[in-house]
Amino acid sequence: MGLVADLAEIVGDAHASAAESILQIHSGDQSSHERRLPDAVVWPANTAEVSAVAKYASANRIPLVGWGAGSSLEGNSNPVHGGIVIDFGRMNQIVEVHENDFQVTVQPGIFYKDMNQLLARQGLFFAPDPGANASIGGMIANNASGTRTVKYGATRDNVLALEVVLASGEVIRTGSRSLKQSAGYDLTHLFTGSEGTLGLITEATLILAPLPEHFSAVVATFDDTPSAAEAVFGIKGSGISPAALELLDAESIRFMNMRVTDLPEMPTLLMEFHGASEVAIKAELELVKEICEDCGCTRFEAGVGRESRDRLWEGRHALGEILFSVYPDSHYLITDVSVPISAYPELAAYANSLYGEMGVHGTLFGHAGDGNLHTVNFAPLDDDDQWAVLHDFNDRVVQKAIELDGTCTGEHGVGIGKQKYMVYEHGEGAIEVMKQVKTLFDPLNILNPGKVVGIKGKGKR
């Protein structure tokens, strides 16, 4: 039998396909990295079917790539060696809400925005918030984070237990629902961030937070980006705990204003504070205002109402989509560096200075409260000279971040794009251990081959 017919035996005729349009959709994520058509796509209904597909792939040595929403930014979900893409779209249910423990058990294909809409009925939410409507499986696999990470942690900090299908098809469970866990090697957090290269997640138990009763949004405007970054360190260094602390350069605000917001087109800190009472928040805001003004803030607007606050976050979340759609003839290259908060002003000032120095066209923004900085830079796809400059820009920003004891990727993962920095960041010895871990879990190298510490992908360069 052919591949699709074999797979249809496992998942049913309607849930296995090699139609050109289906293969195209699953050939790559939102990045410019190397795309390739898979040989087939399946939509399993349950763990047993995922396990059967893995057994089949293992027996026939066929690559197996997990797929959530395909919203990755480093080629993480691109099937660069072809094979079978497992789309978790049908495994999208909440299995159980453990309301009294502030936890939920879900299937991996549920999108976090949909999940949070359902959880809001119980006054709960899953805090990691990558902006794009990602699946929980994809968020766990990439260890995604976002605007709320500064207070609530990254995905990794909010995963308690997993069910995982190994390359052989064997099904294992890791972790437990206890917040404290000390029983042996921490497999849950080894699979988290492994980008589908060690196993396929088929169920996850997540930590939830209560929806805040009192909150205040703040918009602080500065004359220049380095001053705004100084204020980030000042706020974090004072021990205040913002629920969101985002840095946006003037160009980012200009893009947000194109579709959603109406903000002064100046470097800006967008913040949110959650508290048990309005009095507690007010006291924090007074200190934040003082710190911002000490750093040269020219306009400080606090306590904006629910509607304006929602519009601000809608604008912030739409920024990526706006950027990616505004230059149809260009493609973009993203940095995702992260450093200790004390080094953030130096990193931001350095990246900001490169724009003038290198004549690059793009934007600078980031989840500043946890030391994360993105630059998104554009060049026409066929302009090799400009692409060389963009790669040089990224190399310099990554080098600076690593010099400052940071990392080449705070949240997007390694995928294809960040592999060239892995030895530089971790050293040969640590990379060798990672390769041994990969071989232990996936001796035939069928799980998302070519990623993280895989054979280096080609990327745009």
Ligand X SMILES: Cc1cc2nc3c(=O)[nH]c(=O)nc-3n(C[C@H](O)[C@H](O)[C@H](O)COP(=O)(O)OP(=O)(O)OC[C@H]3O[C@@H](n4cnc5c(N)ncnc54)[C@H](O)[C@@H]3O)c2cc1C
Residue facing ligand X at closest CB distance? 138
Q: Is 76 in the site for ligand X (CB under 6 A)?
A: yes
Q: How far apart are the first and last CA of the chain?
A: 39
Q: Is 70 in the site for ligand X (CB under 6 A)?
A: yes
Stretch of residues binding ligand X (CB under 6 A), selected from 192-200, 210-218, 256-264, 422-430: 192-200
Closest CB to ligand X among 79 and 234?
Answer: 79
CA–CA dist 88, 109 (Å, integer): 5
Among the listed residues 184, 188, 181, 219, the one whose alpha carbon sits nearest the alpha carbon of residue 205: 188
Say if CB 216 and CB 272 are below 8 A apart.
yes
Q: Which of 38, 66, 89, 457 binds ligand X (CB under 6 A)?
A: 66
Of residues 46 through 65, those in contact with ligand X by CB under 6 A are 65
Site string for ligand X, 196-235 (x = CB under 6 A): x---xx----------------------------------
Q: Is 457 in the site for ligand X (CB under 6 A)?
A: no
How many residues contact ligand X, by CB under 6 A?
A: 37
Q: Which of 331, 412, 418, 420 binds ligand X (CB under 6 A)?
A: 412
Among the listed residues 2, 4, 36, 33, the one whose alpha carbon sits nearest the alpha carbon of residue 18: 4
Q: What is the nearest approach in angstroms of ligand X to the Cβ of residue 73?
A: 5
Of residues 344 through 383, those in contact with ligand X by CB under 6 A are none
Q: What is the nearest approach in angstroms of ligand X to the Cβ of residue 107?
A: 9
Q: Is 29 in the site for ligand X (CB under 6 A)?
A: yes
Closest CB to ligand X among 249 and 411?
Answer: 411
Q: Is 80 in the site for ligand X (CB under 6 A)?
A: no
Site string for ligand X, 139-178 (x = CB under 6 A): x-xx-xxx--------------------------------
Q: What is the nearest approach in angstroms of ligand X to the Cβ of residue 292?
A: 23
Q: Which of 10, 54, 62, 73 binds ligand X (CB under 6 A)?
A: 73
Q: Which of 43, 67, 233, 378 binds ligand X (CB under 6 A)?
A: 67
Q: What is the nearest approach in angstroms of ligand X to the Cβ of residue 359?
A: 26
Strand order, beta sheet including 372-380: 297-304, 214-222, 268-275, 244-248, 362-366, 372-380, 330-338
Closest CB to ligand X among 131 and 234?
Answer: 131
Q: Which of 41, 54, 57, 132 binds ligand X (CB under 6 A)?
A: 132
Site string for ligand X, 98-127 (x = CB under 6 A): ----------x-------------------
Residues contributing to the site for ligand X (CB under 6 A): 29-30, 65-73, 76-77, 88, 108, 130-132, 134-135, 137-139, 141-142, 144-146, 195-196, 200-201, 320-321, 411-412, 448
